[in-house]
Amino acid sequence: MKNYAELAIEEKFSIKRDSTIYREHLYELEGFKEIIPKEIVESLKKGEPLSKGTEIDFPDKYLLVGKRGHERYPLEEMSLVGGGWVEGGLVLVFKSITEGVELKVMLDFMNEKLGFDPVRGFRIHQERSDNNRVKEELSALKFQKGILSNGHVEIWDISSEKRLGRSETCIPVNCFVNNEFYENEFKVLEGLLSKEGSGAKQEKTK
């Protein structure tokens, strides 16, 4: 009876059931739809270009999280630094505080998808003489490995603590995750951070 009642409410009042939301992937862009004006979302769904001078008020700071089961791989305080219209949606470009990590996502409103390629849409600008960049690189590599290992990415607005989008589970095609490469890189980066910490402690002792 509960299912029949939910179905009747959905058909009459257009209030989607949880099963419908997940079947139609409506959860992937749910938060973005609340901050992007409805008329713009409708135009994007139709594949129409945005009018000249169109402005969208996006949040300033973001938390991007790679999730795989109970594992979490955060990229903290990412800023939106660019973007633009593509047929059916928007491409957004995020960068970290030091600009050492950059990634692109697509808000595909035509297909109700949050598109993210953890290889071609993800860049790490390596600078291992800077302690902050080393920390960011370590977090970024863990994030990338988690996504490639059948994880997904979530985008959160830091100020409102609200999830704006969530991608599907990443299933790599014709490739595999080189676990040995990632584990070796983790050890190297953690070693650099350990040396930095030891150096600071010795300096303080002197």
Q: Which amino acid would we find at residue 199?
A: G
Q: Does 18 have pLDDT greater than 90?
A: no
User: What is the span of the domain harbouring residue 128?
Assistant: 2-46+57-205
What whole-number distance in Å separates Cα of residue 47 and Cα of residue 110?
A: 7
Q: For the chain, how many structural domains are there in total?
A: 1
> Domain for residue 35, yes or no?
yes
**CA dist list (Å): 107 to 33, 85, 127, 136, 180:** 10, 10, 30, 25, 33
What whole-number distance in Å separates Cα of residue 161 and Cα of residue 182?
A: 30
What whole-number distance in Å separates Cα of residue 125 and Cα of residue 132?
A: 12
> Domain for residue 174, yes or no?
yes
What whole-number distance in Å separates Cα of residue 30 and Cα of residue 137?
A: 30
Model confidence pLDDT, tens digit, residues 77-96: 999 999 999 999 999 999 99
> Domain for residue 113, yes or no?
yes
> Model confidence at 27, in pLDDT bands (50, 70, 90)?
confident
Please, what's the b/e burial string for 123-159 (b: 16 or more CB within 10 A of its CB; e: otherwise)? ebeeeeeeeebbbbbbbbbbbbbbbbbebbbbbbbee
> Domain for residue 76, yes or no?
yes
Tokens of 122: 């993800």
> Domain for residue 73, yes or no?
yes
Q: Does 102 have pLDDT greater than 50?
A: yes
> Domain for residue 182, yes or no?
yes
> Domain for residue 51, yes or no?
no
> Domain for residue 52, yes or no?
no
